[in-house]
A and B are shown apart, each in its own frame.
Chain A
């Protein structure tokens, strides 16, 4: 039995999947990375290597299990939508999935580097906190502006395509 699937449908499903994965996988991978930060300090190289080995051995199973669970949850969510065509939730996920891959997260390592550097400065704790606040405020502002610009340009192009198709 053969099913005919249009390119548009594949694009819609792919973007929805990307929207889900962007949020869920990133969040849970970040949670899994937390022990690295603690183990490296407390147990040194041996502890770090041990945790890395555990991640390598068990990681694929955990990821596989999570992927199945999240896919089921995504399908359950989509199944709950009665009017699939024109549903705001579906349209949002398609657009969000398309934009998510265009964000830049380069500012995150810069923020970490800055916070570690400030920690080494021979100044009082209050001055350090003030510096952290000021630098984070400025950096997050600048990078949000740049990311937002990229996303808005991408969305404008998509909206133009939609309007062109309609006319």
Chain B
């Protein structure tokens, strides 16, 4: 048996020696072009994995639509028909590839703006699930219209002007709503969370304030020459919107805290009663 095994080993060794490279296979050498193409493919695969993450998919879709509209605006300044055709194509393709966009827009304009018209405030108390749902819609809308704020640097045309006006107004509403809803979500997540004046030093507040001030600054050149007082009215109106939403957050936190505490006390009372009976 041992002799047979030795013989087999000898045969195998001979076979291996006959093989190219002594039986050891090295990875094939690839060209620079193939290497670059592979790197690009891996990069796009990573990108696809990142984009398909459920928690940010709506933001990515919103940003892609915003960029598309921005490109259409640039194209419009070169060729009107080309710009409009690209805009139409982008909108149709976006709605077909991401049907949830309609729901997001409906949530934003139907829930946030309509609620503002009905109650004079962006503030509304909703259960955590609804808060998260509307927050996602607001993030999507911010993603679409945030690019409209840089249109101010583009040479003005009709499409750019429309996009700029809609973006400035929508972004100011969306920025305030986003801050309020994200704070509301954080209050629901942790009823014991304490809100203080130091919260204005958070990066969330600074980003939201930057967007709000950016929207106001965008409206500034849109007001016709000599009508600076109308811009003053915009400031008053949007500042009120801002103040009523931001100042409502501590009250919301206190309300969540008190009702949670009351529920806790009621539960303790109920358990005490049960213990007494049993």
Q: Which residues of A contact B (CB under 8 A)?
A: 20, 22-28, 30-31, 33-34, 37-38, 40-41, 73, 86-89, 91-92, 95-96, 99-100, 103, 105, 107-108, 111-112, 115-116, 119, 125, 128-130, 132-133, 136-137, 140-141, 144-149, 151-152, 155, 158-159, 162, 166
* Number of residues from B at the complex interface, CB < 8 A: 55
Could you name 27 residue pairs across A and B whose Cβ atoms are closer than 8 Å? A23-B120, A25-B120, A26-B120, A26-B244, A31-B237, A40-B229, A41-B230, A86-B262, A86-B266, A91-B258, A99-B250, A108-B236, A108-B239, A112-B235, A115-B220, A115-B232, A116-B229, A129-B152, A129-B217, A133-B213, A136-B235, A140-B213, A144-B209, A145-B197, A148-B199, A159-B258, A162-B258
Q: Is there an interface contact between A86 and B216, defined as CB atoms closer than 8 Å?
A: no
Q: Is there an interface contact between B235 and A149, defined as CB atoms closer than 8 Å?
A: no
Bound complex: CA A88 to CA B255 (Å) = 6
Q: Is there an interface contact between B259 and A91, defined as CB atoms closer than 8 Å?
A: yes
Closest CB of chain B to A102's CB: distance in Å? 9
Q: Is residue B97 within 8 Å, beta carbon to beta carbon, of the partner chain? A: no
Q: Is there an interface contact between B240 and A26, defined as CB atoms closer than 8 Å?
A: yes
Q: Is there an interface contact between A136 and B248, defined as CB atoms closer than 8 Å?
A: no
Closest B residue to A143 by CB, please name it. Answer: B243
Q: Is residue B121 within 8 Å, beta carbon to beta carbon, of the partner chain? A: yes
Bound complex: CA A105 to CA B226 (Å) = 26
Q: Is there an interface contact between A73 and B118, defined as CB atoms closer than 8 Å?
A: yes
Q: Is there an interface contact between A37 and B250, defined as CB atoms closer than 8 Å?
A: no
Closest B residue to A73 by CB, please name it. Answer: B118
Bound complex: CA A158 to CA B263 (Å) = 18
Closest CB of chain A to B61's CB: distance in Å? 28
Closest CB of chain A to B213's CB: distance in Å? 4
Partner pick for B251 among A96, A125, A149, CB 8 A cutoff: A96
Point out the residues of chain B lying under 8 angstroms from A24, CB to CB: 119-120
